[in-house]
Amino acid sequence: MAATAAAADHQRRADIVRWICRTHGWFGLWGAVLGLLMGFSGIFLNHRNVLKLPQAQERSRAQLALPDPVPDTPEAMSAWLVTALRTDGPPSSSRIEGARPVPWADKSDKSAPALTQPAHWVFNFGGPNETIQADYWQGNRSIGINTTRNGIVATLTSMHKGSGMPIAWILLIDTLAGSLIFLSISGVTLWVLTTRRRALGLTIFGASLAAVAGIALSSF
């Protein structure tokens, strides 16, 4: 009876290990390409001051005349910019600041007229290889257009940081992050279930945890 129970327990353990191995492999395959991309670009970002790889960025500035009448809302301005700049889609991000008193105004003189800073709208278009920023101060008859064209290294850097990337890319990177979490947990679980040299493993894990905690705490 005891032998039967031990055999059943061993079989369940083996089934769990096989399932984790298969799932671990599929998750690893899903994140392999993205992992390589994020790994290489991460090494460059981490050591960019030492490696000094050419980012090959080209920047240009221009002023674009606005139509008459000037779009009077951020939504209208965004729609007009899509047509005027011939972009592939709406802005990837925007920053809308309403009109407000200027911070340098002399508040001690109550008789002086209040100085107000006009509304400021910033729209960002493009992707990792090229970004277009439209900068508008309400009341102007033109809008500033700043264009940045990236080389291969700068493009990879932008993809790593998510700069100018669509929501689909951000969600894809989220799946990679989830895969890494699962791979870490499943890797430790496989080690616990299949390895008997646990003292050595726990020592390595403890040393890794202490190193991470030490580096993190040293920044405070």
pLDDT tens, residue by residue, 27-68: 888 878 778 877 877 777 777 667 666 666 788 999 999 998
The more confident residue out of 176 and 140 is 140
Please tell me the predicted confidence (pLDDT) of residue 1.
Answer: 58
- State which H helix or E strand residue 127 sits in: none
Please tell me the predicted confidence (pLDDT) of residue 148.
Answer: 86
Q: Cα separations (Å) of 90 from 94, 96, 179? A: 10, 15, 30
pLDDT band at 219 (very low <50, low <70, confident <90, very high): low
* Sequence spans of domains, the chain: 11-51+167-213, 58-104+112-149
pLDDT band at 121 (very low <50, low <70, confident <90, very high): very high
Among candidates 130, 142, 126, which has minimal Cα distance to 77? 142
- Based on C-alpha coordinates, what's the Rg of the chain? 27
Please tell me the predicted confidence (pLDDT) of residue 73.
Answer: 93
The more confident residue out of 122 and 130 is 122
The whole-model pTM stands at: 0.57
Residue 95 sits at φ, ψ, to 5 deg, of -135, 120
Please tell me the predicted confidence (pLDDT) of residue 133.
Answer: 92
Mean predicted lDDT score pLDDT of the chain: 81
Residue 126 has pLDDT above 90, yes or no: no
Residue 109 has pLDDT above 60, yes or no: no
Please tell me the predicted confidence (pLDDT) of residue 78.
Answer: 93
